């Protein structure tokens, strides 16, 4: 080996070493900003998961700034390649990929005998309207279909930043209405026993879709019989509710990322992210109107015992230019918790799952209160040691969290009642 070749190899090795040192340093810095409370089950495992996700994010950010690969595309690729494992279809289940009204779907059908028409569930995956796909929801949908003897339709709606609101909701709408129109003839499913549901951003889409369909009722199609909302994101008006303050740095969803994902869904203008977190985007008269639905006073006392809760926003901090950038996000189709009583009253019964150590905990609890106040049936399951994204770690080998199994079993139990 000549000297020039040796120098080239040493230089390349030095660059690689520097890259890894940079990633490790940034990971350490990010990890120091996290806070995993003692009440979270399997805290050590969650630390490992958080470190993995932070590493993926940092590498994606570096590749993005070097112009080699968009950060979101790298994150999607890595998760599909290394964090998703598609197993052989188990006995008793049939799985096939189809298209409903030009929207890709995956259909999970139990093959065991049925005395009559089956029930159905149209499922929207989570991922902040930016991440997630049919594959990431595969284990959850298989389990619900098999254990609840239910035909499950998983919807592969289009994602941001390539597609903004209302594309995601429109895709879910189109796929759901298509299924309702052919449920009995093509799948042996009773269209009067079809629920919609989803986790996180998918829960947002399910709640928003139920409101949209309730307003649209035209007599041609039945509406969903229930809404299954799993730690849903339901409003972008107040990022300082007690759960946002208590869990602001609990993996895998930090407070700041919620605002970021909402903005990606809405229009991509993340320059106003900090203003959203500080509450500068809501006019005084609107804040007063929203207080009826968003006040911490409506939360159970146990939701307010951890940490020092602060009153963050002030009418003096309102910025009109920020409001005009995000005002569409206050529409109930983006923030279902802010819908009028007359609309919510028309929506179906609900199952709501919340996790104690989740920034979105209070969204679900406040929506439950609104539904109950309007006379709707609500089944609430709270995971006292759970965190956001729990179902992503169901049947994930050593990354599985016991509370994920408990959570999905509660969903199965509810679906069986439909």
Q: Catalytic residue among 388, 392, 403, 410, which?
A: 388
Q: Where are the beta strands (DSSP E) in 101-255?
A: 103-110, 118-124, 150-155, 189-199, 227-230
Q: Catalytic residue among 57, 200, 335, 410, which?
A: 200
Query: Active-site residue 363, yes or no?
Result: no
CA 346 to each of CA 116, 181, 257, 371, 377: distance values in angstroms, whole numbers, following the listed order: 28, 21, 32, 10, 12
Cα 355 versus chain centre, distance: 13
Cα 101 versus chain centre, distance: 23
Neighbouring-strand partners of residue 152: 108, 121
Phi, psi angles (nearest 5°) of residue 99: -130, 125
Contact residues for 417 (Cβ-Cβ < 8 A; gap 6+): none
Query: Active-site residue 358, yes or no?
Result: yes
**Token pair of 48 as six digits:** 């490992």
Query: Active-site residue 295, yes or no?
Result: no
Q: Catalytic residue among 171, 358, 362, 385, which?
A: 358
Burial class of 309 by CB neighbour count within 10 A (0 to 12, 13 to 18, 19+): middle
Dihedral (C-alpha) 106, 112, 118, 124: value to the nearest 10 degrees? -20
Sheet order of strands, 103-110 included: 93-100, 103-110, 150-155, 118-124, 189-199, 227-230, 350-357, 378-387
Q: Distance between CA atoms of 150 and 108, rounded to whole angstroms?
A: 8
* DSSP secondary structure code for residue 85 in this structure: -
**Token pair of 51 as six digits:** 């470190």
* DSSP secondary structure code for residue 154 in this structure: E
Q: Where are the beta strands (DSSP E) in 268-373?
A: 350-357
SS3 assignment, position 368: helix
CA 337 to each of CA 185, 215, 236, 325, 368: distance values in angstroms, whole numbers, following the listed order: 35, 16, 9, 20, 10
Are β-strands 227-230 and 350-357 bridged in parallel, bridged antiparallel, or unpaired? parallel
Catalytic residue list? 200, 358, 388
């Amino acid at each position: 080996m000549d000297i020039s070749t040796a120098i080239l190899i040493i230089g390349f090795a030095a660059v690689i070493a520097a890259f890894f040192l940079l990633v490790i340093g940034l990971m350490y810095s990010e990890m120091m900003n996290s806070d995993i409370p003692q009440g979270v089950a399997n805290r050590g495992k969650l630390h490992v998961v958080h470190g993995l996700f932070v590493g993926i994010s940092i590498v994606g950010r570096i590749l993005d700034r070097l112009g080699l690969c968009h950060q979101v595309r790298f994150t999607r690729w890595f998760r599909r390649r290394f964090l998703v494992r598609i197993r052989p279809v188990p006995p008793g289940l049939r799985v096939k990929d189809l298209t409903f009204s030009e929207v890709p779907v995956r259909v999970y059908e139990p093959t065991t005998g049925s005395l009559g028409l089956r029930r159905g569930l149209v499922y929207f995956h989570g991922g902040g309207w930016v991440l997630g796909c049919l594959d990431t929801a595969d284990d959850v949908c298989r389990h619900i279909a098999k254990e609840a003897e239910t035909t499950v339709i998983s919807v592969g709606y289009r994602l941001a930043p390539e597609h903004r609101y209302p594309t995601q909701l429109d895709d879910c709408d189109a796929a759901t209405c298509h299924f309702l129109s052919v449920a009995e003839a093509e799948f042996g499913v009773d269209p009067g026993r079809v629920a919609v549901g989803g986790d996180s951003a998918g829960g947002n889409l399910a709640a928003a879709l139920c409101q949209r369909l309730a307003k649209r009722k035209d007599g041609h199609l039945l509406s969903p019989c229930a809404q299954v909302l799993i730690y849903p994101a339901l409003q972008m008006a107040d990022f300082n509710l007690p759960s946002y303050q208590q869990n602001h740095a609990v993996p895998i969803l930090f407070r700041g990322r919620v605002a970021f994902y909402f903005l990606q869904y809405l229009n991509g203008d993340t320059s106003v992210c900090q203003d959203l977190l500080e509450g500068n985007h809501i006019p005084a008269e609107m804040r007063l109107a929203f207080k009826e639905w968003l006040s911490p006073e409506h939360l159970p006392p146990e939701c307010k015992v951890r940490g020092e809760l602060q009153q963050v926003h002030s009418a003096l901090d309102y910025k009109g230019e920020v409001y005009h950038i995000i005002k569409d996000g206050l529409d109930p189709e983006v923030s279902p918790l802010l819908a009028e009583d007359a609309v919510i009253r028309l929506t179906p019964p609900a199952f709501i799952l919340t996790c104690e150590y989740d920034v979105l905990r209070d969204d679900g609890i406040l929506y439950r209160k609104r539904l109950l106040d309007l006379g709707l049936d609500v089944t609430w399951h709270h995971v006292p040691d759970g965190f956001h994204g729990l179902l992503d770690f169901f049947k994930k080998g050593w990354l599985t969290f016991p509370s994920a199994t408990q959570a999905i079993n509660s969903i199965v139990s509810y679906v069986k009642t439909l």
